[in-house]
Amino acid sequence: MTTLYLSDGIIKDEILVVGLSHKKSMRDGKASLVIESGDIALDTKKLLSILADMGATGNSDEVIKIPGITTRLLVFTGLGENKAAIDDEVLRRAAGAAARALSGSSSATFSLPTKKISTLEAIAEGVLLGSYIFNKFRVDSLAERNPSLKSATLHSKQAGSPGAKEAIKRASVIGKYSALTRDLINTPPSHLTPDSFCKEFTSIVKKIGGTAAGLKISIMTETQLKAKGYGGITAVGQGSANPPRLLHISYRPVKAAAKKNYAYVGKGITFDSGGLALKPAAGMEAMKSDMSGAAAVCAATIAIAVMKLPVAIDCYAPLAENMISDNATRPSDIITMYGGKTIEVLNPDAEGRLVLGDALVKAQENKGLDGIVDVATLTGAQVVALGTRTAAIMTNNQDFSDHFFAISKVAGEAFWPMPLPVELRASLDSPVADMANIGERMGGMLVAGLFLKEFISADLPWLHLDIAGPAYNEGDAYGYTPVGGTGMALRSLVALAQSAAIS
Ligand code: BES
Ligand code: MN
Ligand code: ZN
């Protein structure tokens, strides 16, 4: 990961990154460029004419490098339309795009407008998120790949304040655990199984101090899950040679009292072949990302522990591989979920709701919860409804949803509220069991949400986050978002805990 430094003094690096925005004159409608170099003064007149000659636009995701005057290289990163108060997320993305464009470089100074500490923090996050590269499985091709930008100095008048140091620390935690989330998502099922997922977190918990850090981890094996009646997790996992698990990470603040008590539950399908409802070959490889929810909730819980936030988190990851074999769950099979509900499995590809149902019931055995949040790459319908960059929030509690929505916006993650229309519920009725695992096709994201709602006690504030689209980027990199795993939901989950800490 890129190492971050703060400075308000002279620039020591050979690369200087500044912002570039565009504006339209009210008088003659002509477009012009504006250099946003924060607390560093540049000879903008000459630079602006060079940039104009080069056809610079200042649009977001445009990164232009020119020979510098006082530094060897001057890098302009697009901020889009010129604004008196630039949005933190615009700067987060611009910093990310520049950091990505600087892979292979050893150090760079970023000088962007940082009027508030939160802005400095956003820029720091952008640099760390944007410089991420997944090279774990390259051997022969590694040498021809540029490594991540080694270090970045954030230039700001705020550099000396204690608030700035804290901001950099928090950003580094976000950067580190976003990278962990992305690494897990990008790791293929040949190398990431329910068991190895658990081992990874067991070793992380140990490394950061275990009980001394307030963390406890427990893992249920397939035998234990069967014995205790976790019919959803075992039904989904039974077709695979890699048996299922239920991972539980609990965090309790060590010295402070917990101000809020949340359960985070993440879908952990290490590979979703569709089971006997086999998915088409084209695009099936993206289903290595079907554990994105589990990765996000577990990594967020570790991040919250590292930040020592005064909240209690119980994190559950129901882990299974959805495969085909003579032992795989068949369409028409009836299973008994943890807690006793029976489900007719009409479609083994609607497996996420089965593993989540079990885990949600388990999580609610803790009677002191203030809220429960599940995170899942649950439906293709989510992607159809909101596209690849916006995730959905569904809820039984408008206040909780509004609160989360506001927080996620500040964290720079795009969520949008979606309804749970009661009239769709009847489509999940089964002629033979308590419920079927699929219902009406239209509004499939909402139907999946309604299925999960059946496992939530009515008086417990609940959020269901369907991140099917934004969890995994199959297109080009943009802003601070790389190709592959994105880390979607991690920042909002940490921010939710932070907001509880200050309430
Ligand atoms: N993991 C998929 C959903 C998904 C699709 C995630 C695309 C990311 C990108 C999920 O398990 C699934 O297969 N859902 C089915 C449900 C259907 C059978 C009711 C779907 O969306 O087609
Ligand atoms: Mn599926
Ligand atoms: Zn799935």
pLDDT digits (tens, 9 = 90+) for 24-68: 888 888 889 999 999 999 999 999 999 999 999 999 999 999 999
Q: CA-CA distance, 482 to 473, in Å (whole number)?
A: 7
Same structural domain, 450 and 343: yes
- For the full predicted model, state whether its pTM sits above 0.85: yes
Q: What is the pLDDT of residue 57?
A: 97
Same structural domain, 450 and 478: yes
Q: What is the pLDDT of residue 26?
A: 83
Residues with CB under 5 A from ligand 2 (ion): 272, 349, 351
Q: What is the pLDDT of residue 25?
A: 83
| Per annotation, catalytic residue among 93, 353, 362, 453 | 353
Q: CA-CA distance, 257 to 248, in Å (whole number)?
A: 21
SS3 503: coil
Question: Which of these three, 124, 156, 188, is where a domain ends?
Answer: 156
Kindly report, residue by residue over 289-299, the tens digit of the pLDDT: 999 999 999 99
Q: What is the pLDDT of residue 202?
A: 98
Residue 464 phi/psi, 5-degree rounding, is: -115, 115
The number of the ligand 1 atom at minimal distance from the alpha carbon of 287 is 1
Q: What CATH number should be reported for the domain holding residue 215?
A: 3.40.630.10
Cα 421 to averaged position of ligand 2 atoms, centre (Å): 23
The number of the ligand 1 atom at minimal distance from the alpha carbon of 444 is 19
Q: What is the pLDDT of residue 69?
A: 84
Q: How far apart, in Å, are the Cα atoms of 241 and each of 294, 321, 322?
A: 20, 9, 10
161 located within any domain: no
Q: What is the pLDDT of residue 297?
A: 99
Strands 268-272 and 261-266: what pairing?
unpaired
Of the candidates 466, 230, 423, 252, the one whose C-alpha atom is nearest the C-alpha of residue 335 is 230
Q: Is 145 a catalytic residue?
A: no
Same structural domain, 427 and 495: yes
SS3 412: coil
88 CB under 6 A from ligand 1? no
Burial (CB < 10 A; 0-12, 13-18, 19+), residue 326, is exposed
301 located within any domain: yes
Same structural domain, 74 and 200: no
What is the 8-class DSSP label of residue 481? B
195 located within any domain: yes
Same structural domain, 332 and 222: yes
Q: HEC profile for 27-95?
A: CCCCEEEEEECCCCCCCHHHHHHHHHHHCCCCCCCCEEEEECCCCCEEEEEEEEECCCCCCHHHHHHHH
Same structural domain, 145 and 40: yes
- 396 pLDDT higher than 90: yes
27 located within any domain: yes
Q: Which two tokens stand for residue 466?
A: 């369907």
Same structural domain, 256 and 387: yes
Cα 263 to averaged position of ligand 2 atoms, centre (Å): 24
Of the candidates 73, 84, 177, 85, the one whose C-alpha atom is nearest the C-alpha of residue 125 is 177
Same structural domain, 181 and 133: no
The Cβ of residue 460 has, within 10 Å, a number of other Cβ atoms equal to 18
Question: Which of these three, 112, 132, 156, is where a domain ends?
Answer: 156
Q: Are 392 and 465 in contact (CB under 8 A)?
A: yes
208 located within any domain: yes
163 located within any domain: no
Q: What is the pLDDT of residue 29?
A: 85
Same structural domain, 336 and 194: yes
> Which mutation among 271, 379, 466 tests ligand 1's pocket best, with the greatest number of atoms within 8 A of CB?
379
Q: What is the pLDDT of residue 503?
A: 77
Same structural domain, 269 and 237: yes
165 located within any domain: no
Number of domains into which the chain is organized: 2
What range does the domain containing 41 cover? 3-156
Q: What CATH number should be reported for the domain holding residue 121?
A: 3.40.220.10
Instruction: Please name the residues in contact with 371: beta carbons below 8 A apart, sequence gap of 6 or more.
Output: 260, 262, 263, 397, 400, 460, 461, 462, 463
Q: What is the pLDDT of residue 133?
A: 98
What mean pLDDT do residues 211-234 have?
98
Q: CA-CA distance, 181 to 484, in Å (whole number)?
A: 11
Q: CA-CA distance, 14 to 33, in Å (whole number)?
A: 24
Instruction: Please name the residues in contact with 204: beta carbons below 8 A apart, sequence gap of 6 or more.
Output: 180, 302
Same structural domain, 366 and 395: yes
- Average pLDDT, whole number, for the chain? 98
Kindly report, residue by residue over 416-426, the tens digit of the pLDDT: 999 999 999 99
Q: CA-CA distance, 83 to 66, in Å (whole number)?
A: 24
The Cβ of residue 96 has, within 10 Å, a number of other Cβ atoms equal to 29
382 CB under 6 A from ligand 1? no
What is the 8-class DSSP label of residue 279? P
One-letter identity of residue 324:
I
255 located within any domain: yes
The number of the ligand 1 atom at minimal distance from the alpha carbon of 347 is 18
Same structural domain, 336 and 222: yes
Determine which residue's CA is closest to atom 16 belonging to ligand 1: 350
Cα 473 to averaged position of ligand 3 atoms, centre (Å): 16
Determine which residue's CA is closest to atom 5 belonging to ligand 1: 380
What mean pLDDT do residues 421-438 have?
98
Question: Which of these three, 127, 156, 185, is where a domain ends?
Answer: 156
466 CB under 6 A from ligand 1? no
Q: CA-CA distance, 226 to 74, in Å (whole number)?
A: 61
